[in-house]
Structure 1
Amino acid sequence: MDNKDFLKQVEIFRDLSEDELFEVSRSLSEMKAPTGTVIIEERTPGDSLYIIKKGRVMIEKEAGERKALLAELTPPLFFGEMSLIDDYPHSAKVTAVEDSELLLINRLDLEIILNWNTVLGVKMWRSFSKVLSERLRQTNDRIFQKMYDADDTTSFQMWSEVMK
């Protein structure tokens, strides 16, 4: 399967036409990440969107000696998009759990695509927004469920303050 056909499976590209998929696929580069490879270090500048074509990666957040597994991703999922959108450093570490193949779109190529074709740009920003909204909803639900399970009234009060 060529990269253009593979992109049809990726959530943020599902609504694109054949021509738009072709344009995006022309900007892709490929990366191999053997098991154990750190693909993204937390707090480093972000410069690419990574799409998992083969393999599995884990996303971890570190605080001192403590680590939390946030997610494990497999094809055709993607990561790295947040730092392209808001220009902040990466918020987590991403490591290949098994030999993986990734497709990348770097920031400059993404900007060229989005500026070259405004219809494509609108479609992609809408897709990014939908994905980020869904991820935020899931995160909120997990946080709330953990507080509820712990019956932690202090956390509920803190959550209420944060959400104001």
Structure 2
Amino acid sequence: MSTEFNSPQIPAMGLVAGLEEDDRLLLSGYGEFLPVQEDQLLIQEGQEQDALYFVISGILHVHTDKDNKRTLIARVTPGESLGEINIFDPGTASASVTAKSFSQVWKATREDVEGFMTEYPEAGNLLLTAMVAEMSRRIRHMNDKLVSVEAEAAYQSFWD
């Protein structure tokens, strides 16, 4: 795998799978491509965060570090994205993200996404819809986890 981008373009997967090749090429020009080395921190928990990250290659871990204990929240692979919520509501990162292998990501700020949507509204609408769908899937997943944890806690308190 190359550690350089010779002709960077966002591949047709994940959030951008529904975009035409020409639209993905145009979108590629609105952000920046970043190589992320193994064990490199991409996002720091608690730091200001205003960007969307799209994983092109590699593996990233989303985690928190509390009381000298690392808790893995998610494993992010090619085609997946991070930071969608920050496009709508910039704030501080709720977790850190570290590369577990050499990774290639595309980073776009809110201004990048807004610029693309203004210039290419039809493609921008598809991108926006994909981001909202991804956030909805994550909310459903977290709701399922919460229900499972609450059910387990209720069961344990019944027998204690």
Answer yes or no: same fold by TM over 0.5.
yes
Residue 45 of structure 2 aligns to a residue whose secondary structure is coil
Equivalent AA in structure 2 for residue 114 of structure 1: M
State the 1:49 CA deviation.
Answer: 1.5
Residues 1:49 and 2:55 are matched in the alignment: no
Structure 1 pair 4–79 and aligned structure 2 pair: CA distance change class (3 A): same
What is the RMSD computed on CA atoms of the aligned residues? 2.3
| 1:56-115 CA distance string (max 9 Å, x none) | 111013445454211011112111222122122222110111222212222322111012
- Normalising by structure 1, what TM-score? 0.80
Matched with 1:135 is 138
Amino acid at match of 1:47: D
Match of 2:26 in 1: 23
Identity of aligned residues (%): 22
Given that residues 84 and 135 in structure 2 are in contact (C-alpha distance below 8 angstroms), is that contact kept between their aligned partners in structure 1? Answer: no
For normalisation by structure 2, the TM-score amounts to 0.82
Q: Following superposition, which runs of at least 4 residues in structure 1 exceed 3 angstroms of deviation? A: 1-5, 62-67
Structure 2 unaligned blocks of 5 or more: 1-5
Letter in 1 for 2:136: S
- Aligned residue among 111, 122, 125 for 1:122: 125
Per-residue CA deviation, residues 119-153 of structure 1 (Å, 9 max, x unaligned), is: 22222211111110000000111121122234256
SS at match of 1:98: coil
Aligned to 2:85: 82
**Could you tell me how far 1:17 is from its partner in structure 2?**
2.2
Equivalences, count = 152
Structure 1 residue ranges without an equivalent (≥5): 155-164
